[in-house]
Amino acid sequence: MEEYKRIDFRDQIASNKRKSFFLALTVFVFIVLLGYVISFAFDPGSFFIIMIISIIFSLSYTLISYYNSDKISVMSVGAKKANRSEYKDYYNIVEGLTLASGLPMPELYIMPSNQINAFASGRDPKHSVICVTEGALAKLDRRELEGVLAHELGHIGNYDIRYMTLVAVMVGMVAIISEMFLRSLWFKGGGEDNKAGAIFMIIGVVLAIFAPIAVQLVQFSISRKHEYSADATAVKFTRYPKGLIGALKKIKQDYSYESREKKVNKAIAPLFFASPLKNFTSTHPPIEKRISALERM
């Protein structure tokens, strides 16, 4: 039987951060390459004026969403603020974890769902929320729930929301630029005897079609890396990987694909502890791989 090499959670966190930076850099390269090619296919002056306007609009929309991400997230799932007297254990566990991690106390919410799940949101540790499902509170024992909550605090402490928002902006910019280029082809006159321009036009069309797909796949990959990192951070906070492993095993049993709920907006699906959606481009690593990594810590 193959013997697994033990993994130190600090090495796991550092490795995932390096890989996430590389993946974000890949998205940025797509943006520069796409803009460069399209600028040769069209008049560079008019193209970049339109692009700058689109970017300003995209950034404004994203910044508004970013600074209100905690409110938007809990409202979108119909969550309510947890009452301390009713959910005393929930508060006690999170307070204990904040003492161990040095993080400020987030606001706590409850989401109506019988399945086991949780998510964290907010632009920084001082403006953060943690939301768990009713099913998580009912089905997980104290150590398992502690592992899940430590995972969510890991997202907060690692500034994953800020990082993923930056990536989402870049992905949105690629989509806007690609859509603008493809639509502008209807208004571009023909008859130009310019072989170089024609070549750049073909390259531009290919990039405009495939770049949004490629960068979205990169976004999903970044999300998966951050899940591994948050798992490792949870072990750092609790020093007890078995709690998180137990929670993941219960989720695997609880979440048959046929019964998985479809009430979650795709935009906030990457925030959840376990993917609430069935998708071949899943925002989360397979549960088996997460368990395997945790068993080696």
Which spans in 102-194 are helix H? 134-139, 142-157, 160-184
Instruction: For residue 26, give Cα distances in angstroms to 47, 58, 215.
Output: 23, 20, 8
The answer to whether residues 204 and 13 touch, using CB atoms and an 8 Å cutoff, is: no
3-state SS, residue 235: helix
What are 250's two structure tokens? 């219960």
Q: Which has the closest alpha carbon to 290: 236, 247, 239? A: 247
Out of 152, 179, 261, 295, the active site residue is 152
3-state secondary structure of 163: helix
Active site residue 144: no
Q: How many residues does the chain have?
A: 297
Amino acid (1-letter code) at residue 216: Q
Q: Quote the strand ranges of the chain, DSSP E.
A: 80-81, 107-111, 118-122, 128-133
Residue 62 to residue 144: CA distance in whole angstroms: 35
Catalytic positions = 152
